[in-house]
Structure 1
């Protein structure tokens, strides 16, 4: 005769813990192409101590081994790094999803189409005003 054990409750599952973190937040750069008056990060020039492309890929490899579901990339403006899109591609090719926050200035129609076609990338674009005047007052002219 087969016996069944009681179902494991959701609470029991949380007490057992996860095998890996769901998300890792990564401040990829402090550099930014804007001068927002409200910015809480240390945005500005690129820090010479930032990780190289190879070092970033090494971290992504570790995240894949740890089975991290996704990395949330922020900082200053991550798209100002010349290797940013290479790192996004590398992460998704290694089963690490990417969420990133951007001011959107460097999102071209081609980049937008590529992002829209990806199941592993989520983008948050900040808007700082409903009019050009308000936006420029917050972010600087342009």
Structure 2
């Protein structure tokens, strides 16, 4: 398995297949990608993933924008499934999931993350700009029914908005057999006004969870995340902010919708453009560019910040 200069193995690929979305969330950072009119084709996504597989990258996560907006999303999953990845997953807002859950499972999707920050209609609408909460709940039920396990519910904590709904979401997940993933808001750039307005540290929330937990585990090769087990269900904590442990355990490369390798979520100054290589029939240049992107990786938080 290939490693970067800091000894971190590259195990997974996170592919943003579109910047388009059917929601307008107040905190959206679009995976840290820059505006673009270019959107990779199914064939380009397949070629990129084929090269990734040759580097022993064995997991792929499909994201957006909202990936279910793409009319060829099932075909994309089917194409990736033919490459025999160990795990193919997706992050979605769940609005269209009711119609796609069974098709995605049949195509080869293993599991799914659904963004759901509130169970209250007025709060959900204030966050997303749309009144789609019932559709999302239906989508979650269909995903569980279709066997997309585990279904994880991504709850981003927003100060003075949903911070008091953690246990409501936990009970919802427990009832449906899903896992609650609590996420700390991340600041993508210095002009992120939303961050100052909505950021809340997870310290007090995690301490409350810790006191109730019967068991705690750390996912060493998943950014050192902690999983708390309570009443037969799970809560996972995702804390990227100023977290050197998060960076030290990062094993992921990202692909932007316009076919650039993004070595770090929080940077746009070290991207590697794959488009010229995708015009060639051979994958030789794609492989060279993958190696270059891996070489450009450095921990954003910690003593090695911005080492080039």
Which residue of the other structure, out of 14, 18, 21, is the alignment partner of 1:25? 14
Give CA deviations for 1:45-66 in whole Å, capped at 9, x if unaligned. x942121222112112212323
Does 1 or 2 have the higher relative contact order (CA < 8 Å, sep 6+)? 1
> TM-score, with normalisation over the residues of structure 2?
0.35
Q: 2:94 — aligned with what?
A: 104
Q: 2:116 — aligned with what?
A: 127
CA shift for structure 1 position 42? 6.8
1:57 aligns with 2:46: yes
Q: Partners in 1 of 2:17 and 2:107 — Cα distance?
A: 21
CA shift for structure 1 position 103? 0.2
> TM-score, with normalisation over the residues of structure 1?
0.71
Q: Are 1:23 and 1:68, in contact at CA under 8 Å, matched by a contact in 2?
A: yes
**Unaligned segments of structure 1, at least 5 residues:** 1-16
Q: 2:125 — aligned with what?
A: 136
Q: Partners in 2 of 1:114 and 1:87 — Cα distance?
A: 12
Which residue of the other structure, out of 50, 73, 89, is the alignment partner of 2:62? 73
CA gap 1:27/1:106 in 2 versus in 1, 3 angstroms = same
Q: Are 2:90 and 2:112, in contact at CA under 8 Å, matched by a contact in 1?
A: yes
Q: Partners in 2 of 1:118 and 1:48 — Cα distance?
A: 28
**Unaligned segments of structure 2, at least 5 residues:** 1-6, 132-308
Aligned residues: 122
CA-based RMSD of the aligned residues comes to 2.7
